[in-house]
Structure 1
Amino acid sequence: MTTALGALLTNDLVGITRGRFFPLPARSAAMEKGCGWVPANLGLTPFDEIAADNPWGCTGDLRLLPDPQTRFLSRRLGDGALDGMLCDITTLEGTPWYGCGRSFLKAALSDLENEFGLVLQGAFEMEFQIQGASWGTAPAFSLQAMRRADTMCRDLVDALTDIGAAPEIILPEYGQDQFELACAPRPGLQAADKAVLVREVVREVARLHGHRATFTPKLQPDGVGNGLHIHFSFLDATDGTPVTYDPAHPHGVSAQCGQFVAGIVRHMPALMVMCAPTVVSYLRLVPHHWSAAYSSFGALNREAALRICPIAPHADPARAFNIEFRPTDGTASPYWALGCLVRAGLEGLRQRLPTPPLLSGDPDALSEAERAQSGITRLPATLGAALDCFLSDHVVRQWFDPVLIEGIRTAKKCEMDKTRDWSPENICEQYARIY
């Protein structure tokens, strides 16, 4: 009889879940002490390279400290159960480390509640594609496309249900062998935790069916993109009343929600280094692809980076009303991406920024003067441009420790240097192997 293993996991700046493993008989010790971690691990590029000039070097020690409330277990994944916990990265003294995305998100959510009495509810809607299947072709969104993958999808729903992340919906999408999966809204930290785990379970179920699931933003340069859409709404921290919707305000956007959205719109170009953190991300963020190439706010508009989502008939608008952030993709960490949205939203709340004007139609069809009048700006078109926006936004830089900023800079430069001479086709191929 073999010894089962458990996992202590974290999710890094480029959305890769990494960690350590322990024999399950030693669970009590693992829960109490966690395990060792290394600062330079945060400097890893998607290609597992660490920039020679990264700020951490060979020094320093940290701990992965598990949160027992995040324990997950599914026995439906082949011979070995998927068992483990998500962790905070801490110093040796047990205090949060500045490079821990989960701690970054927790602190931002705490500030939102303490300063403005708002509790964020979040949900992640993710797209992925299956490689290696011999299903043949089927029309987009069709019953044929769903039925040919029925066994895999049923196994996926069962495994996700085991870990407390049963999807609200799973469907065949527009792209070749592309699927979309959406989970129910949860408090912000729980939503990010589940998003991390859902991606790993999807990969495991696909592997056990002889396929490969990829969340890469682009599988082919001219193909459809895979996004990681982040939905959010707000509850009053005192009594749990929904406060995102207000019928007295234009389009139902409450004053606080509008201020929060305005902060995101203002700082969105700088957020892309966390929300679209890899070279391949920018093959997706182009006009006319429903992936949001401009920093804008719209209603029922898939070219808007932030959009008011539709409300189902007979639904309570106060509870169903939510905002969707569309530029994020599957190379992003749910912790860092959502944490940055909250931090930007806090800036809008503190400054009482006015709700941005609603975009009507395709922003790329507007003239530069029309976009400028509406406060619509083009998002960075490359990772290098995104890094420049990040480094030049002094408000956003204040959210991060200077050493972390330098770590981000050196890691992105290392990634860009490696891929500089690659063709778009090679970029897509290489990132699909990782994500």
Structure 2
Amino acid sequence: MHDDHQTTTLGALLTNDLVGITRGRFFPLPARAQAMEKGCGWVPANLGLTPFDEIAADNPWGCTGDLRLRPDPQTKFLSCRLGDGAFSGMLCDITTLEGLPWYGCGRSFLKAALDDLKNEFGLIMQATFEMEFQITGTQWDSAPAFSIQAMRRADGFLRALTDALTDIGNAPEIVLPEYGVDQFEMAFPPRPALEAADKAILTREVVREAARLHGHRATFTPKLHPDSVGNGLHIHFSFLDSTNLQPVTYDPSAPGGVSTLCGQFVAGILEHMHALMIFCAPTAVSYLRLLPHHWSSAYASFGALNREAALRICPMAPGVNPEKAFNIEFRPTDGTSSPYWALGALVRAGLEGLRQKRSTPSLLSGDPDALSETQRSEMGITRLPASLTEALAAFLDDVTVKNWFDPTLVDGIRTAKICEIERVADCDPAELCRKYARIY
């Protein structure tokens, strides 16, 4: 007797919101495959959710409005090496019912910024996201940081994770046990910036799923404990000329090897970095990580091979072609951010520097916190916001940055952040860490 039974799996249509949480709709496959490819409904007020799934009573969207999740077939993913079921689906743009990009879609925001970069300056951004995360719920013995023991005790989980990431087209270049307790870091090859953001979003979900299937829990929270090592989401970027696809980030005759165009781009980021924190460090717990002497960049600064600089020129291996390997790392971003909104905001800020033909900033050597206030002032080095309240104020005070967004979205960000700030106002640092670790 012939058995025509097909195993049902769930396919996901996904988007990533302002606080870096991937949400979506799910369809039984293969029965609903065709319907899934057409997209599905979505709700504007979803963008107003805090990490605690609260919507501010005074959010600008309320109960009205309808949108669509419109899948991009180029983002289709499938991994069959995660337990008994396939992990499959597509990433989506959020559109109006007429099919136009919605102002609250982070993916569309990034795409538009990259289009402006290409059309105005002939630049194509290459990017990658370097991820740090921690594993909890293990029975592992203690092991020294960076050691073979630390790697081998997690061997089963890490091999399954690498297989699953390979399935979705994002095999890591390197996986290592990091300095923190049960902390790991993954680095990935550079690729076109939109694709890099897509892969970063999927990778976080694959890491969580692989950990769960091994009886653990993965967290990307910026701080697991107040006194622990932080987890960052470092963004690396470089540029190609859109005409001949040749690298244009490096200039051996310029200070630090930074080309004029790259220097202008970096200057724009530094000019608006305080306001950018609302996208790059978007939660209250983010600011327990952005402290002096934590190698996480507490100051808006530019340095070469300097892990206390918010933007740094990355080292290159001997013998490589510097034109191809040269890249800049942005360090303040953490795993509570959306790769779409964070990278899109960096591109928008960089565009401002390019349009104004800003000079390449001076290179910082050493720890900016060791400098006097006068020295920092002379170099244009400023302390980044020390709380989500300060970050929100910086965003609302920066007219240039606010003008990148629809006024309704600005109001939605404001109301959501105030709601989040009020929710955790009475938490001590330990409780703050526990609350966010449960979510991220």
Bucket of the pairwise TM-score, normalised by the shorter protein: over 0.9
Matched, 1:269 2:265: no
CA distance in 2, matches of 1:3, 1:151: 27
Q: 1:408 aligns with which of 413, 428, 431?
A: 413
SS of the equivalent of 2:90 reads strand
Alignment-derived partner of residue 220 in structure 1 = 225
What is the aligned partner in structure 2 of residue 52 from structure 1?
Answer: 57
RMSD: 0.6
In structure 2, the residue matched to 1:89 is 94
Structure 1: distance between partners of 2:226 and 2:35: 48
- Residues 275-323 of structure 1, C-alpha deviation per residue, up to 9 Å, x if partnerless? 0000000000000000000000000000000000000011100000000
Q: Does 1:168 align with 2:173?
A: yes
Provide the residue aligned with 2:422 in structure 1: 417
Aligned partner of 1:305 in structure 2 is 310
TM-score scaled by length of structure 2: 0.98
Whether 2:216 is the aligned partner of 1:211: answer yes
Q: 2:373 aligns with which of 368, 371, 388?
A: 368
2:15 is aligned, of 6, 10, 13, to 10
Write the distance in 1 (CA, Å) between the matches of 2:269 and 2:104: 22
What's the CA shift for 1:411?
0.3
- The CA distance in 1 between the partners of 2:148 and 2:320, in whole Å, is 27
Given the alignment of the two structures, is residue 104 of structure 1 paired with residue 109 of structure 2, yes or no?
A: yes
For 1:147 and 1:30, the matched residues in 2 are separated by: 40
> Displacement, 1:90?
0.3
| Residue from 231, 234, 238 that aligns with 1:229 | 234
Please give the secondary structure, in 2, of the residue aligned with 1:120: strand
User: Are 2:317 and 1:317 aligned?
Assistant: no
Equivalent-residue separation in structure 2 for 1:226 and 1:202 (angstroms)? 14
Match of 2:127 among 122, 129, 135: 122
Structure-2 residue corresponding to 1:30: 36
The question of 1:391 aligning with 2:396 is answered yes
CA–CA separation in structure 1 for the residues paired with 2:139 and 2:321: 43
Map residues 167-206 of structure 1 onto 2, 5 A cutoff: 167-206=172-211
Q: Secondary structure at the match of 1:372?
A: helix
1:325 CA drift (Å)? 0.1
How many residue pairs get matched? 434
Shift, 1:5, TM fit: 1.3
Q: What secondary structure, in the 3-state scheme, does the structure 2 residue paired with 1:358 have?
A: coil
- The corresponding residue for 2:339 is 334
SS at the partner of 2:103?
coil
Distance 2:226 2:127 in 1: 30
Q: Aligned AA for 1:21?
A: F
Per-residue CA deviations over 1:9-67 (Å, capped at 9, x if unaligned) read: 000000000000112222222212x0100000000000000000000000000000000
Q: Distance in 1 between matches of 2:430 and 2:390?
A: 21
SS in structure 2 at match of 1:223: coil
1:259 aligns with 264
Structure 2 residue matching 1:390: 3-state secondary structure: helix
**Pair 1:152 & 2:157 matched:** yes
Counting aligned pairs with the same residue, the percent is 76
User: Shift in Å at residue 3 of structure 1?
Assistant: 2.0
Amino acid at match of 2:343: L
Q: Specify the SS of the correspondent of 2:113.
A: helix
Deviation sequence 1:188-225 (CA, Å, 0-9, x none): 00000000000000000000000000000000001100
**TM score, norm. by length of structure 1:** 0.99
Partner Cα separation in structure 1 for residue 402 and residue 184 of structure 2 = 36
Distance 1:413 1:208 in 2: 36
Letter in 1 for 2:169: G
Corresponding letter in the other structure for 1:381: A
- Does residue 255 of structure 2 align to residue 245 of structure 1? no
Alignment of 1:279-294 (within 5 A): 279-294=284-299
Q: SS at the partner of 2:438?
A: helix
Q: State the secondary structure of the residue aligned to 1:298.
A: strand
Distance 1:221 1:106 in 2: 36
Q: Match of 1:5, as an amino acid? A: L
Amino acid of the residue matched to residue 31 of structure 1? E
SS at the partner of 2:332?
A: coil
Q: Distance in 2 between matches of 1:323 and 1:150?
A: 32
Selected match of 2:349 from 344, 349, 353? 344
Cα distance per residue 1:83-122 (max 9 Å; x no partner): 1000000000000000000000000000000000000000
The aligned amino acid for 1:249 is A
Give, in angstroms, the shift of residue 174 of structure 1. Answer: 0.1
Q: Deviations over 1:138-161 (max 9, x none)?
A: 000001100000111011000000
CA distance in 1 between counterparts of 2:150 and 2:318 reads 27
CA distance in 1, matches of 2:138, 2:176: 17
User: How far apart in 2 are the matches of 1:315 and 1:156?
Assistant: 29
Listed as ranges, the gaps of 5+ residues in structure 2 are none
Instruction: Show CA shifts across 1:368-393 (max 9, x none).
Output: 11001001000000000000000000
Distance 2:8 2:186 in 1: 33
1:346 counterpart SS class? helix
- Take 1:382 and 1:89, find their aligned partners in 2: how far apart are those partners? 30
Pair 1:356-2:371 in alignment? no
- One-letter amino acid matched to 1:60: G
